[in-house]
Amino acid sequence: MLLRAVDVFDIYVEPFIHSGFRLPNQPYSYYYRSLFSLHNETLSIWTHLFGTIILIVQAFQQISQLSINLYSTIQCIYIIYNCIGACIMLLCSAQAHLFHSRTLADHLRSFYLDYFGINFYGFTSGIILYRFSHKQKFSMFTNETSYYLILSFLSLYSLSIACFCKTFYRRPYPYSHKFLQCSSVLILYLFQIWPILKNIFFTFILYDNNQELIKFEEKALFWHLIQIISFILSGLIFVGRVPERFCPGLFDLFGQSHHTFHLTIFLMSFSQANAVFEDMHSMSLNNIQYNLMKDILYTLIVLILELITVVIWFRISRPTIERRYKIDFKNE
Ligand SMILES: [Zn+2]
């Protein structure tokens, strides 16, 4: 049995989706079983689960293609590192779609984990791009530590803003909600992609002849371009909510914009991994500078800080949101 949007709390409902809601307050097994039945979250969950499998296969393929050299073990570790970051993002989002409509507490917990996944990948991707894809002449930061610190700060800032928006805004969301939510992710993304954007601009738009590109570099820039286009598309799709905006209720089970959004997010991480792999090839071995311990240490610190942020926000939000819906319930 599935419910209509009017039968569940508005916090569980996405705009223009009118039906296909699972029952709230059921045991966890009900939601696990719902993986194999059709409701308005089925496709959103499976797009991420399939995406995760493809990213893992991609990482294995890349590792098998690495030529044996002094650095192949370390390149292998960075490929796995990048894959873990992307898979965490997809899996955190998949669990949010699976459990968010169970109880208010589950809704908050699963969404905050989703925000954590997005921003943690924002951090790990920033590290990978810095190591392999930022060309020195386009880079704003010659000082590695300052880049790492700003990246960590932006990732934490973006996570906190997402949790803040969830706590203090409610539907129908005002314009400031979208602005805050999107701008913080955009800043985190722009910060790490800026040197690559400049590289693409000089190579493909200004046709800078001084830029002698080797085959791998050209391939890498092509994949970076796909990655950037996917990111822009995902933002537009997320905000636009087309096609359900024009036929509310018609795309609840199949074809709602969130399904396309998931595909573009997957395509973004898939092409980012391909781009970084090509960049690994184009670096001359003498130029490779790794600081694996530093990268792992920063990643662990950011991971712990982000999990603490999620716990703190959960403690702040839960009573606020539960009080809000209790009052609503009494007024009905
Ligand atoms: Zn989603």
Residue 41 has pLDDT above 90, yes or no: yes
Please, what is the average pLDDT of the chain? 91
pLDDT attached to residue 283: 76
Q: What is the pLDDT of residue 213?
A: 64
Distance CA 316, CA 44 (A): 28
Per-residue pLDDT reduced to its tens digit, 172-223: 888 888 899 899 999 999 999 999 999 888 887 777 655 566 777 889 999 9
Separation of CA 262 and ligand 1 centre (Å): 6
User: Is the pTM above the cut of 0.95?
Assistant: no
Centroid of ligand 1 to alpha carbon of 223 (angstroms): 23
Q: List, for residues 270-305, the tens digit of each pLDDT value.
A: 999 999 999 998 876 555 667 889 999 999 999 999
Closest to 320 (Cα-Cα) out of 163, 156, 204, 178: 163
Q: Is there a binding annotation on residue 48?
A: no
Span 38-59, average pLDDT: 98
CA–centroid distance, residue 46 to ligand 1 (Å): 11
Please give the Cα distance from 112 to 102 (Å, whole number).
15
| pLDDT attached to residue 326 | 82
Task: Match 């699972």 to its residue by tokens.
Answer: 22
Q: Tell me the CA–centroid distance for residue 135 and ligand 1, in Å.
A: 33
The rounded distance, in Å, linking the Cα atoms of 231 and 151 is 18
Kindly list the protein residues that place their beta carbon closer than 5 angstroms to ligand 1, a single-atom ion.
93
Work out the angle at residue 77's Cα, subtended by the Cα atoms of residues 76 and 83, and round it to the nearest 5 degrees. 90
Considering the four listed CATH numbers 1.10.3470, 3.40.50, 2.60.120, 1.20.1070, the one that applies to the domain covering 42-331 is: 1.20.1070
Establish whether 177 is an annotated binding residue.
Answer: no
44 CA to centre of ligand 1 in angstroms: 6
Q: Is 100 labelled a binding residue?
A: no
Q: Return the pLDDT at 173.
A: 84
Query: Model confidence over 13-26: pLDDT tens digits?
Result: 999 999 999 999 99
pLDDT at 139 over 80: no
Residue 126 CA to ligand 1 center (angstroms) comes to 22
Cα of 216 from ligand 1 centre, angstroms: 33
Proportion of the chain above pLDDT 70, given as a percent: 94
Radius of gyration of the chain (CA): 21
Q: How far is the CA of 93 from the centre of ligand 1 (A)?
A: 6
Ligand 1 centroid – CA 51 distance (Å): 12
* For residues 251-273, average pLDDT: 97
The fraction of the chain above a pLDDT of 90, given in percent, is 75
Dist. CA 190 → ligand 1 center (Å): 21
Calculate how far, in angstroms, residue 258's C-alpha sits from the geometric centre of ligand 1.
Answer: 6
pLDDT of residue 50 exceeding 90: yes
The pLDDT assigned to 284 comes to 63
The values of phi and psi at residue 3, to 5°, are -105, 165
